[in-house]
Amino acid sequence: PAAGAQAITVGGKNFTEQLLLSDMTGQYLDAHGFDADVRNGMGSTVLRRAQLNGQVDLYWEYVGTSLITYNKVEGGAKMSRQEAYEKVKKLDAEKGLVWLKPSQANNTYAIAMEEEDAEKRGVETISDLAKLVEGGKELTFATDAEFASRPDGLPGLQEHYGFSFPRAQVKRMDAGLVYKALNEDEVNSAMVFATDGRNAAFDFRVLEDDQNFFPNYAITPVVREDVLKKHPKLRELMNELSSKLDDATMQRLNKQVDVEKKSVSQVAETFLKENGLI
Ligand code: PBE
C-alpha cells in the first residue's frame, strides 16, 4: 500500500469462498488507497460480533444468514430476494451496519446426494429424502457445526419438512470435509453450499428445496457505518466488485481452489486483473 493509505480491517469466515472474498477484497482495496488487514477463518457468529464491536470494518455476508440467524426474522424464505435484502438492510442499519449492493451470487445451503445413489433411491427433492428417513431408511447425513445448530440449518429444515435424522446418523465435521465424506461414500447425504465448485466436480445431485425452506443468500458487502462515513469511496469500490459476482463466477473461483488446488491469493489476483479491478 502507498504511504498515507487508509487502514481498514476486512473479515472473513472459515471456508473457501470466504477466504477468497476476503483476500480479494484486501488486494483490491490495497490497490485503491487502503491498507487492508485481512482477518479470516472465523465462524459466522464470531465474525458478526467482531463487526458489531468494531474489530472488523467490512466483510461479505449472506442476506439469509443475517435475516434468520442474526435478526431472528421468521418466514424469511417466503420473501423475494429484494424483500429479504431490504429487510436486513433496515434491521442492520439500526445496529450501525450498512448493506451495500447485493451481488447476483446466491450461496444458499442445500442438501446433496451422490447422483447415482439419488437416482437409485428415486430422490429428487428434500421431501423425497424426508420420506425415506421417516420411513426408517438408515441414511446418514454430513454437516458442519453451524448448519447443525442454526435456525436456517438442520433444526429448522427438519421441522419444516417434518422429518428427523436419528442423532447417530448425523455426522459433524468441518465444512470442507463434508464434500469428501459424501464423495467417498462415508455418508449418504450432506449439507452443501450452492456455490461450492465440488458439487459439480464430484457429480452430486443437489436436491430441490420443493417446500421452500431456504431464504435467499445473496453475497453482499457489509460495512460499518462509521467507517463508510470516514471513507465514502468504499461504497463505489465495493459495489463495483459486488457487481462482478454471480453463481457461475463463484463456482468457478471456488473450484479453482478446492478442485484445481490453486492458491487463494493467486485465484483472487487473477480474477481482479481479468476484471480490470486492479
Ligand atoms: N453459507 C451458506 C452461509 C449460509 C448459507 C454457509 C455460505 C453462511 O452463513 O456462511
* pLDDT tens per residue, range 18-67: 999 999 999 999 999 999 999 999 999 999 999 999 999 999 999 999 99
- Give residue-wise pLDDT tens across range 155-181: 999 999 999 999 999 999 999 999 999
The pTM of this model reads 0.97
Give the tens place of pLDDT for each residue, 86-136. Answer: 999 999 999 999 999 999 999 999 999 999 999 999 999 999 999 999 999
pLDDT digits (tens, 9 = 90+) for 175-198: 999 999 999 999 999 999 999 999
Per-residue H/E/C for the chain? CCCCCEEEEEEEECCHHHHHHHHHHHHHHHCCCEEEEEEEEECHHHHHHHHHCCCCCEEEEEHHHHHHHHCCCCCHHHCCHHHHHHHHHHHHHCCCEEECCCCCCECCEEEEEEHHHHHHHCCCEHHHHHHHHHCCCCCCEEECHHHHHCCCCHHHHHHHHCCCCCHHHEEECCHHHHHHHHHCCCCCEEEEECCCCHHHHCCEEECECCCCCCCCCEEEEEEEHHHHHHCCHHHHHHHHHHCCCCHHHHHHHHHHHHCCCCCHHHHHHHHHHHCCCC
Which atom of ligand 1 has the smallest separation from the CA of 217?
A: 5
Ligand 1 — pocket residues by CB below 6 A? 13, 44, 62, 65, 107-109, 193, 217
Nearest CA to ligand 1 atom 7: 107
Ligand 1: distance of its center to the CA of 2 in Å?
Answer: 34
How far is the centre of ligand 1, averaged over its atoms, from the C-alpha of 1 (Å)?
31
Query: Phi/psi at 164 (nearest 5 deg)?
Result: -155, 120
For ligand 1, atom 9: residue with the closest CA: 65
Expressed in angstroms and rounded, the spacing between residue 8 Cα and the centre of ligand 1 is: 24
Compute the distance from residue 217 Cα to the ligand 1 centre, in Å. 7
C-alpha to C-alpha distance for 120 and 177, rounded to whole angstroms? 24
What is the Å distance from ligand 1's center to 190 Cα? Answer: 14
Backbone angles phi, psi at 80, to 5 degrees: -70, 170
Is pLDDT of 1 > 90?
no
Cell, residue 69: 440467524
Answer for the pair 242, 104: CB distance below 8 angstroms, yes or no. Answer: no
- From the alpha carbon of 65, which atom of ligand 1 is closest? 9
Cα separation, 237 vs 245, in Å, equals: 14
The residue whose CB lies within 8 Å of the most ligand 1 atoms, and thus the one to mutate among 107, 152, 192, 219, is 107
